[in-house]
Amino acid sequence: MSPGEVVLPVHCVAAAGLVFDEEGRVLLIRHPRRGWTYPGGMVEQGETLLQAAVREIREESGVTAKIGELVAVASNVAKRPGYNGVKEIPTVVNFVFLARAVSGEPGPSEESRESGWFTLAQAEAMVTAPASVEVFRAYREYRGRPLYLVYRTWPAFELIEKRTL
């Protein structure tokens, strides 16, 4: 880096949804690397957080959702090894919203092996990735104000901070 050159930090921004149906069941997808989890993913260029959440939910599950309140902001501050041609995954800030299903039926996609509706108790027993477990805990603790989670997922999961915003 030459004198006066500024290097901006790299943070990926993601959006996700804890989607519930009319019966109060939550939508889960079975991700190839993280196992059962809630749908979500990276915000694309020119897209808003809410647009990204709706798109990711639909792409991963086939369900169209209406986005509601912000439940959690989750910061993964670990840089970690990449996959699918990506050398390294930078830090990620994930905005997790409550959402309501409005149409579509859960099914497999290019990004998930399967998806379906589950009771909250079933979902909590199925979700095993530590970061996803923490988001479900944040939902249980949600009282109208989002929780802020900071963690590392590499080389091992470590919860660094958890507090109400």
User: Average pLDDT in the 110-117 region?
Assistant: 94
On the question of pLDDT at 17 being above 60, the answer is yes
- What is the pLDDT confidence band of residue 1, given thresholds at 50, 70 and 90? low
CA angle 114, 127, 86 (to 5 degrees): 70
Residue 86: what pLDDT? 80
pLDDT 10s digits, 119-152: 999 999 999 999 999 999 999 999 999 999 999 9
